[in-house]
């Protein structure tokens, strides 16, 4: 059960974590051998384009949890730097566009996979005392916090 003290500790730690994550997220990183650096949302978008054919702007916005306008800006940047290309779906609806990852985009994803492997090794060293169950419980708690509506509900009152 939560006490006032635990709630305060949780609240403060979440704010610190969000701030640190936002600092990390806002700095583009080098993935692959190209001079352009990519933001985490760029990589997320590339990953989804790479694995699904249902990759219109609205669908990608919903998956990434950002606005369609933000997705359009990312797509424009990724097309300009040749990480993706687009083709019109001539068979169905000529207005429907499908985005396709290029070889350059695939190399960036390989760089990201290497980054994730290095992160996994780091976490295994840093958190050696945590069991698989501890980690799964932590992830479940994050999922619960991601669905947390308290502040949104309070705005509606």
Domain locations along the chain:
4-156
Most confidently predicted of 4-18, 27-41, 94-108, 139-153: 4-18
Q: Which CATH architecture has domain 4-156?
A: Orthogonal Bundle (1.10)
For residue range 45-93, list pLDDT tens digits in order.
999 999 887 778 888 898 888 999 999 999 999 999 999 998 766 565 5
Q: Can you read off the two tokens belonging to residue 91?
A: 């068979």
Mean pLDDT over all residues of the chain?
A: 87
86 within 8 A of 100, measured Cβ to Cβ: yes
């Amino acid at each position: 059960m939560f006490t006032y003290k635990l709630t305060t500790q949780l609240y403060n730690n979440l704010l610190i974590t969000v701030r640190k994550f936002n600092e990390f997220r806002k700095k583009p990183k080098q993935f692959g051998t190209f001079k352009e650096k990519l933001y985490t949302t760029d990589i997320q978008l590339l990953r989804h384009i790479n694995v699904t054919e249902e990759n219109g702007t609205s669908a990608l916005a919903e998956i990434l949890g950002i606005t369609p306008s933000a997705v359009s800006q990312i797509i424009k940047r990724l097309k300009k730097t040749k990480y993706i290309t687009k083709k019109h779906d001539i068979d169905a609806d000529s207005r429907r566009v499908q985005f396709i990852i290029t070889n350059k985009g695939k190399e960036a994803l390989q760089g990201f996979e290497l980054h994730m492997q290095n992160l996994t090794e780091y976490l295994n060293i840093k958190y050696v005392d945590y069991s698989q169950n501890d980690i799964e419980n932590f992830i479940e708690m994050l999922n619960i916090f991601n669905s947390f509506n308290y502040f949104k509900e309070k705005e509606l009152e």
